[in-house]
Amino acid sequence: MTPPDRLRALLAEPGFLTMPAVWDGLSAKLAAEAGYRTAFLSGSCVAASRLGGPDLDLISFGEMFDSFNMVHGAAPETLILADGDHGYGNPLNVQRTVRAYGRAGAAAILIEDKITPRQLTSSGKPCLPREEARMKIRAAVQAAKESGILILARTDCRPTQGIDEAVARIEMYVEEGADILFLDSPADDEEFRRAVAAAQGRPSFAVLSPGPGRRIPTRPEAEALGLKIGTYPTAMLSPAIAGMQAGLAALLAGGAESDMALTPAALRTTLGYPDYDVQGKPFLV
């Protein structure tokens, strides 16, 4: 089965799908070893790791695609939902983006309706007019036929244009053939319910990491609201940052590592030194 086919089968199973956010080979490997069958290649995590900065549409297609190849190489069996952002341009750019990820082995790709380039402010998410957003999703669905990659259609318009417009866009994306739907920044449970109803039985996706400006249900609450997939962009990233800060503080204090550091043996095992020895043994001269 192809990665998209495997993801379709997984989404057909009962229950809620927890999808950790990853950004490089190590984060993808750790998620796979923890037992997760899927992961979200998060634009915010890639921006943090590559730029040391916030997710404000500064990451390029090339940087995201390079990160996907790192993730896919380290965890080839993990079903990756790639963050395609706004598709990096017009509908033809969207098609190029979708085809590239499909050929490379992604199971699904997210395409959103934000305006690009972004306004020079970190607040607000101005979005394309509705019919321009329709054309982006139409282009994505057509391009996806080549590989079967699933299309996750996201609308960011709720904060700026209201829940009625956001729900109308979800209904429109369903008409265009999107496989998974995503209402960004819902204000309350009723908005979640309206978005799930608008998806007409197709899986609904949500960001469930803590953050401002949106209702953040617990996993049981999300499942009760009808959501199918929850991703947690800060679940690994925030502790990773805290761990690096702790290590730096330990060095400044005259130590060699922080109290939370792995033992040398555990670190070598996690990084795969014993596996390398096993794999290389048949080729020793």
Query: Which domains are assigned to the chain?
Result: 3-235 (3.20.20.60), 242-283 (no CATH)
pLDDT band at 10, cuts 50/70/90? very high
Burial per residue of 128-156, b for 16 or more beta-carbon CB atoms within 10 angstroms, e otherwise? beeeebbebbbbbbbbbeebebbbbbbbb
Structure confidence at residue 116 (pLDDT):
86
pLDDT at res. 86: 96
Cα(132)–Cα(138) distance, integer angstroms? 10
Give the model's pLDDT for residue 46. 98
What phi, psi does 112 have (nearest 5°)? -120, 175
Q: pLDDT-based confidence at 185, cuts 50/70/90? A: very high
CA–CA distance, 8 with 3 (Å, rounded to integer)? 9
Q: For the segment 117-174, what is each residue's pLDDT rounded down to a tens digit? A: 887 777 778 999 999 999 999 999 999 999 999 999 999 999 999 999 999 999 999 9
- As to burial, measured by CB atoms within 10 angstroms (0-12 exposed, 13-18 middle, 19+ buried), residue 115 is middle
**Which amino acid makes up residue 36?**
Y
Q: pLDDT digit string (tens) for 250-282? A: 999 999 999 999 999 999 999 999 999 999 999
Instruction: Judge contact between 153 and 111, C-beta under 8 A.
Output: yes
pLDDT, the chain, mean: 96
Number of residues that this document lists for the chain: 285
